[in-house]
Structure 1
Amino acid sequence: MITRRQILGGGALLAGAAAWTKTSAMGLPEAPIMESPDMQPPLFPTSGPDYQPVVTLNGWTLPHRMNNGVKEFHLVAEPVERELAPGTTAYLWGYNGQSPGPTIEAVEGDRVRIFVTNRLPEHTTIHWHGLILPNGMDGVTGLTQPGIPPGKTFVYEFDLVKSGTFMYHPHADEMVQMAMGMMGFFVIHPKDSSFMPVDRDFVFLLNAYDIEPGSYVPRVMEMTDFNLWCMNSRVFPGISPLAVSKNDRVRVRVGNLTMTNHPIHMHGYDFEVTCTDGGWVRPEARWPEVTIDIPVGAMRAYEFDAKYEGDWAFHCHKSHHTMNAMGHDVPTFIGVDKTEVTKKIRRVQPEYMPMGNRGMADMGEMEMPLPDNTIKMMEGWGQFGAIEMGSMFSVVKVRQGLSATDYSDPGWYQHPEGTVAYEWTGDTPAPVKSGDAKTMTPANPHGGHGNQG
């Protein structure tokens, strides 16, 4: 039997990984930096148990080095600039050049040693959310360890005693540091590669910011009134699609480190919830869903078989969480006749446009001046026009024949003839050609959405 490792070898590693073999085992591991907001290819294992590596939505996986049987990683806590979407940047705190930080991947039974260097203006720690480990490695400032002072490096070392999906974040000045974007994923693969196998494995965190239009730094004191709801610190149309080959077994792991729950809904499919941050769900305990609520501070993973081709919307079902730069003090003008007041306003502001009296959909198509570094409330275009969505929204793009290592955007779905909703003109509809009813019926009304950034 030929494994992925034999097929791919070292060629699938990131270009910078070769430098790790040159690093002295007596010194710190190198701390790779990622500046690109694009989704990076997975890191396939080159030693130890085989596994299907995860792909972090608009993120990357942290390389490691081996040192006498221990996997060593190096995280650097530091100020970062994160592109939320093309043309919109936030000044955040994160790890190794990005927020969220890189995903850490390892295997059940591994011993890991994680060096954490602090380049923030205040002390920090890292809590390994959900992991079973020695109390002194739990990362709670004052309780289990002193804070890591600016300019210092601390070491966390422990054995990975269970597989599953976990997170990391500070337990030091947590209100500020998490509000500034300090968080990341920690994935531990089963030692037995035949346990819970999938063909594609996506991970990402839900996070939120309150960044005033025209500004760059989040308001860290905000508790409830956030205006940017993000998937891995990105907002639509800057979120990459989840590209999937038809008939793949797909896992999606979602962690929530915002201040509220998020009902994540996927169009076109039902799926099984197979994992929480507490562990794998036994087969007899799994349940079918089309929407899974992700509680605060929790992770949920679900799986499905990619049977139905199309561009399937994937989003939080709280309607305000699919809008960018929301202003919650905007009055409602639906049904209001603005004709006369528009004439008066245009005497002093000729370019004034009345809005809101017939709904907000016009905003998806309008090009109007905005403060610098501010994304439109509705942004992005599909093959049928403006997509009236933003923030926590992406697309699962199922296509026939994608390469096992191809995660690039395959473009818009080409709908079979007779499968797109159309205007009725009073004529007798033409008969729909026979075919897969699941593919034929719901392909476009909720599809046609994708990444423009």
Structure 2
Amino acid sequence: MVSRRDFFLGAGAITAAVAASSVSRTAMAGLPEIVSQGGPDTQPPLQPKNGAPYRPVVTLNGWTLPWRMNNGVKEFHLVAEPVVREMAPGFKAHLWGYNGQSPGPTIEVVEGDRVRIFVTNRLPEHTSIHWHGQRLPNGMDGVSGLTQKAIQPGKTFVYEFVARRPGTFMYHPHADEMTQMAMGMMGFWVTHPKEPHPLIEEVDRDFCFLLSAYDIEPGSFTPKIMTMLDFNLWTFNSRIFPGIDPLVVRKGDRVRIRVGNLTMTNHPIHLHGHEFEVTGTDGGPVPKSARWPEVTTDVAVGQMRQVEFIADEEGDWALHCHKSHHTMNAMGHDVPTMIGVDHRGLAKKITGLIPDYMVMGERGMADMAEMEMPLPDNTAPMMTGDGPFGSVEMGGMFTVLKVRADQQPGDYRDHGWYRHPEGTVASEWRGVLAEPARSSRAGGQSMPRQQASPDVEVNVRKPAGHTDH
């Protein structure tokens, strides 16, 4: 039997759901309806139907939470609950999140708005919500035990404050963080400026996504919450490449990308084909005198970086974390380096005992993208994704910025791969290759030794104990 909630989430549509069971039917009439989404696709920007106008953001593989106006107050309803997140086609994870997804929906308001957020707890334990980076009354800061009582299972709390300054912020629990954030509880908050701001320019396209990391063993569904360093899935909005949607823009657009980091390490986010400036942090807009052109910006733990650029180069441009193992999926941490090792004799003996044995890493890891390896159920390949010229050999924190001259304003649809003008694609050289000029005198030490020394072999002996050092 399919429950009402499962029906809504399985359909992948934005739907109205029933209110928390702890709220009576009489009180239920006073709460905004619960809106959920279970589908993994990027939803179009939510145009403001009331309140002050603004240009909305696009949440990569996510959506914006609708609201209602109640006597001049913007009211939202967040539900903390277990969710199933499709991280990539065929690979799903059992996470915790908000309103059917992890990360939860983006909240968009305007500077000066009075905001009221109802938070219903459907988790098996207590929780709270911290509004990361916001200026607000101390009792609304969301630290359980310090500024409020924890929200017990089945209960609904209400937070209310004024969005005092424009910028990009995040929300996440401040209760049992080791579990709840490791399980995916987080979301974005964007406060748009009320009036033209000298440090906040108008943009044509505005994207946002959160960086998160998980340790989910091959064949399993639930993250290991006690992992501190050895994560094996690095995600944009809890999606891994090739399950991450592209950022589709029109040539000449001014583009803003907002990136928040709630993992346990930093991420140098790199954009190909363009230069950008960091125009904002979760502390606010960056003064123009403090900006400089970049192609990579490091987003440290608990930080947000807002970058802007003019998309003036057509093509399919990579956008990714520049830590190489962060663009891999489900990678093991105890795999030895076998580059250059001849497995032929050994592999033949092993396959006699284990027919499914497969040599890994003899020529490098690129072979893994081409192999038809048998994988446990619900396991993402280590690196995959087919481009117009073959395997992309990427995973994790990797996606594509698609710049097109014929993209219409407001059109975020992906119309396929870039068609390169003739003669503009690197190709094999079929001409004659001259022998390179070599010199024994090239390079060398700046102060070479006058008298040659015999070769010395160093033998290292590990001490048996640790008493003398």
Residue 54 of structure 2 corresponds to residue 59 of structure 1? no
Residue 328 of structure 2 corresponds to residue 307 of structure 1? no
Cα distance, 1:427 vs structure 2: 6.4
Residue 266 of structure 2 corresponds to residue 261 of structure 1? yes
Give SS of 1:375's match: coil
Distance 1:278 1:328 in 2: 36
Match of 2:440 in 1: none
Cα distance, 1:46 vs structure 2: 2.5
Residue 170 of structure 2 corresponds to residue 167 of structure 1? yes
Q: So what's the TM-score if we normalise by structure 1? A: 0.88
The one-letter code matched in structure 1 to 2:344 is T
Match of 2:444 in 1: none
Q: So what's the TM-score if we normalise by structure 2? A: 0.85
Does structure 2 conserve the Cα–Cα contact (< 8 Å) formed by 1:200 and 1:251?
Answer: yes
Does structure 1 conserve the Cα–Cα contact (< 8 Å) formed by 2:234 and 2:327?
Answer: yes
Give SS of 2:146's match: coil
Cα distance, 1:31 vs structure 2: 1.1
Give SS of 1:405's match: coil
Residue 177 of structure 2 corresponds to residue 156 of structure 1? no
Match of 2:224 in 1: 219
Does structure 2 conserve the Cα–Cα contact (< 8 Å) formed by 1:322 and 1:389?
Answer: yes
The one-letter code matched in structure 1 to 2:396 is S
Give SS of 2:367's match: helix
Q: Among all aligned residue pairs of Structure 1 and Structure 2, give the percentage whose two residues are the same amino acid.
A: 71
The one-letter code matched in structure 1 to 2:426 is A
Match of 1:177 in 2: 180
Pick closer, same or farther for the CA change 1:345–1:25 going to 2, 3 Å.
closer
1:311-326 aligned within 5 A: 311-326=316-331
Residue 291 of structure 2 corresponds to residue 293 of structure 1? no
Match of 1:137 in 2: 140
Match of 2:31 in 1: 28
Does structure 1 conserve the Cα–Cα contact (< 8 Å) formed by 2:14 and 2:35?
Answer: no
Bigger relative contact order, structure 1 or 2 (CA pairs below 8 A, ≥6 apart): 1
Distance 1:376 1:105 in 2: 35
Does structure 1 conserve the Cα–Cα contact (< 8 Å) formed by 2:15 and 2:36?
Answer: no
The one-letter code matched in structure 1 to 2:135 is I
Distance 1:279 1:31 in 2: 31
The one-letter code matched in structure 2 to 1:76 is V
Higher deviation after alignment, 329-338 or 187-196: 187-196
Cα distance, 1:351 vs structure 2: 4.5
Residue 374 of structure 2 corresponds to residue 369 of structure 1? yes
1:42 to 41, 45, 49: 45
Residue 246 of structure 2 corresponds to residue 241 of structure 1? yes
Does structure 2 conserve the Cα–Cα contact (< 8 Å) formed by 1:324 and 1:376?
Answer: yes
Distance 2:106 2:427 in 1: 44
The size of the alignment, in residue pairs, is 411
Does structure 2 conserve the Cα–Cα contact (< 8 Å) formed by 1:79 and 1:119?
Answer: yes
The one-letter code matched in structure 1 to 2:343 is K
Match of 2:460 in 1: none
2:392 to 383, 387, 390: 387
Pick closer, same or farther for the CA change 1:360–1:74 going to 2, 3 Å.
same
Distance 2:353 2:161 in 1: 68
Does structure 1 conserve the Cα–Cα contact (< 8 Å) formed by 2:50 and 2:69?
Answer: no
Give SS of 1:328's match: coil
Distance 2:109 2:57 in 1: 11
Distance 1:68 1:91 in 2: 39
Distance 2:407 2:179 in 1: 42
The one-letter code matched in structure 1 to 2:431 is G
Match of 1:335 in 2: 340
Match of 1:415 in 2: 420
Distance 2:343 2:127 in 1: 53
Cα distance, 1:224 vs structure 2: 0.3
The one-letter code matched in structure 1 to 2:217 is E
1:128 to 127, 131, 134: 131
The one-letter code matched in structure 1 to 2:249 is V
Does structure 1 conserve the Cα–Cα contact (< 8 Å) formed by 2:14 and 2:36?
Answer: no
Higher deviation after alignment, 29-38 or 41-50: 41-50
Residue 362 of structure 2 corresponds to residue 357 of structure 1? yes
Cα distance, 1:403 vs structure 2: 2.2
Cα distance, 1:406 vs structure 2: 1.5
Cα distance, 1:16 vs structure 2: 5.7
Distance 1:26 1:276 in 2: 39
Tell me, which stretches of 5 or more residues in structure 1 are unaligned? 1-13, 429-453
Higher deviation after alignment, 192-201 or 182-191: 192-201
Distance 2:353 2:164 in 1: 69
Match of 1:441 in 2: none
Distance 1:362 1:26 in 2: 58
Does structure 1 conserve the Cα–Cα contact (< 8 Å) formed by 2:206 and 2:257?
Answer: yes
Give SS of 1:265's match: strand
Does structure 1 conserve the Cα–Cα contact (< 8 Å) formed by 2:163 and 2:191?
Answer: yes
Distance 1:256 1:393 in 2: 15
Does structure 2 conserve the Cα–Cα contact (< 8 Å) formed by 1:345 and 1:352?
Answer: yes
Cα distance, 1:402 vs structure 2: 1.5
Match of 1:378 in 2: 383
Distance 2:177 2:114 in 1: 27
Q: What do residues 41-76 of structure 1 show as CA deviations (whole Å, max 9, x unaligned)? A: 111122333221000000000000000000000000
The one-letter code matched in structure 2 to 1:264 is I
Does structure 2 conserve the Cα–Cα contact (< 8 Å) formed by 1:25 and 1:67?
Answer: no
Cα distance, 1:129 vs structure 2: 0.1
How much is the aligned-residue C-alpha RMSD, in angstroms? 1.8
Cα distance, 1:347 vs structure 2: 2.0
Larger Rg: 2
Give SS of 1:284's match: helix
The one-letter code matched in structure 2 to 1:425 is R
Give SS of 2:248's match: strand
Give SS of 1:304's match: strand
Distance 1:98 1:118 in 2: 14
